[in-house]
Amino acid sequence: MNTMSMQVIDGTPVWGKPDLEALSQIRTCAKNAVATALMADHHVGYAIPIGGVVAYKDAISPSGVGYDIACGNKAVRLDIPADEVRKNIKTIMDSIYEELSFGIGQSNSVRVDHELFDDPVWKLHAVAPLKELARNQLGTIGSGNHFVDVFTDELDRVWVGIHCGSRGFGHHIATWFLNAGGAADGMHVEPLVLPVTSALGAEYLECMKLAGRYAYAGRDWICNKAAKLLGATIEEEVHNHHNYAWQEAHEGIGDVWVIRKGATPAFPGQQGFVGGSMGDVSVIIEGVEHSDSPAALYSTVHGAGRVMGRMEAKGKWKKNHCHRPGKVTQEMMRSWIDEIGVELRGADVDESPHCYKRLLEVLAAHKGSIKILHTLWPLGVAMASGHKYKD
């Protein structure tokens, strides 16, 4: 089977090697959708697969947007010489890890003010109790696969790239609406779908958009802070959500709400930043008109895609007792990144390169509908460690 081009499986266009669990989930989604698609980095998620694109007519799905509303990427190109960064990469990564907040439940050591806190949407019942939490966490990175990386490109220019979303604020919003809408609990369940004309659906859209502004503001602050830590000025930026819903017009289906859960918008001329793993390249891409584009609802991958679950990588532990050994060790992870010269801060073995596909191979499945503008090689990677949490 050719996995490097589009296939249509049970009416859904699929790129990359089909994941059977993700296919099962997208079939369930298709029952209430007008169009579906799976990007090449797809894998199983909650109700809707990661890498899934689902279009609804006059409806929205909080399950589809997911818990990390407006999770996305931003990359900025800096005016600092690459040789200077290489020479000082240890100090730079120390500063990034110490001055920025990584981990579950972390608050920013700096109180960040922003005009979004004056938005009247904060009066809505779902978000009113969350305002102080949101203020405290604006500009923090979180845990899991969220990162702040320092790169050089093919012209030896320096970039900083980040991946994070709306933090605890977005998670609380998602939880509130899933509970209010009576969503089924579990992985392989029907997603909650709300008419946009319903009171609950309309309120969700307002809260989702607020979380989107919040995520953008947080990524802006992090990139500005990182540039300041490097003593550099931002010369170019690329910024995009990949867990969000957009109202769009598409040929054949008209005006729809397109949910991209772990998928990057890729309309012709639209740029996006797509991250690989800590031991792989990342890229700046641009959408290109192609025969595949309409079927993908003008979307592409958001990352490399996992090949190994977190528990599979780390093993199963309880009270310091190993019930099942993991497949990846700290030594394996360190060996990989040391070999390519990455200065790592934080991270746990469930984010090791062993857990991910190779990004360029994944992108090859979408060849034609995107082009790579810049290839970014990591010099430094900062992520939350397995122990950098706050109760």
The tokens of 137 are what? 């966490």
pLDDT tens by residue, 289-301? 999 999 999 999 9
Roughly what angle, to the nearest 10 degrees, separates helices 167-180 and 199-229?
170
Distance separating alpha carbons of residues 212 and 199, to the nearest angstrom: 20
Q: What pLDDT, on a 0 to 100 scale, did the predictor assign at position 5?
A: 78
> Architecture of 7-383 per CATH?
Alpha-Beta Complex (3.90)
So what's the pLDDT on residue 318?
A: 72
- List, in sequence order, every residue forming a beta bridge with 148; answer none if it has no partner: 162, 382
Helix (H) or strand (E) holding 376: strand 370-383
The pair of structure tokens assigned to 56 is 């609804």
Angle at which helix 89-99 crosses helix 199-229, to 10 degrees, equals: 140
Residue in 30, 2, 32 with CA at minimum distance from that of residue 18: 2
Instruction: State the Cα–Cα distance between residues 214 and 312, nearest whole angstrom.
Output: 33
State the average pLDDT over residues 120-131: 97
% of the chain with per-residue pLDDT over 90: 90
Q: Which of residues 325 and 376 earns the better pLDDT score? A: 376
Give mean pLDDT, residues 96-105.
Answer: 94
Q: Give dist(CA 292, CA 310) in Å, integer.
A: 32
Contact 343, 147 (CB under 8 A): no
For the stretch 36-94, pLDDT in tens is: 999 999 999 999 999 999 999 999 999 999 999 999 999 999 999 999 999 999 999 99
Region 223-248 average pLDDT? 98
Quote the mean pLDDT of the chain.
94
pLDDT of 153 reads: 98
- Indicate if the pLDDT at residue 271 is higher than 50: yes
What is the C-alpha to C-alpha distance for residues 98 and 96, in angstroms, rounded to an integer?
Answer: 6
- At residue 390, does pLDDT exceed 50? no
Q: Is 317 left (phi over 0), alpha (psi -120 to 50) or beta?
A: beta
For residues 154 and 375, give the distance between their C-alpha atoms in angstroms, rounded to a whole number.
6
pLDDT for res 163: 98
As a whole number of angstroms, the distance between CA 69 and CA 211 comes to 6
Nearest CA-CA partner of 196 in 376, 70, 55, 349: 55
Query: What pTM was computed for the model?
Result: 0.94
pLDDT for the residue 323: 66
State percent of the chain over pLDDT 70: 96
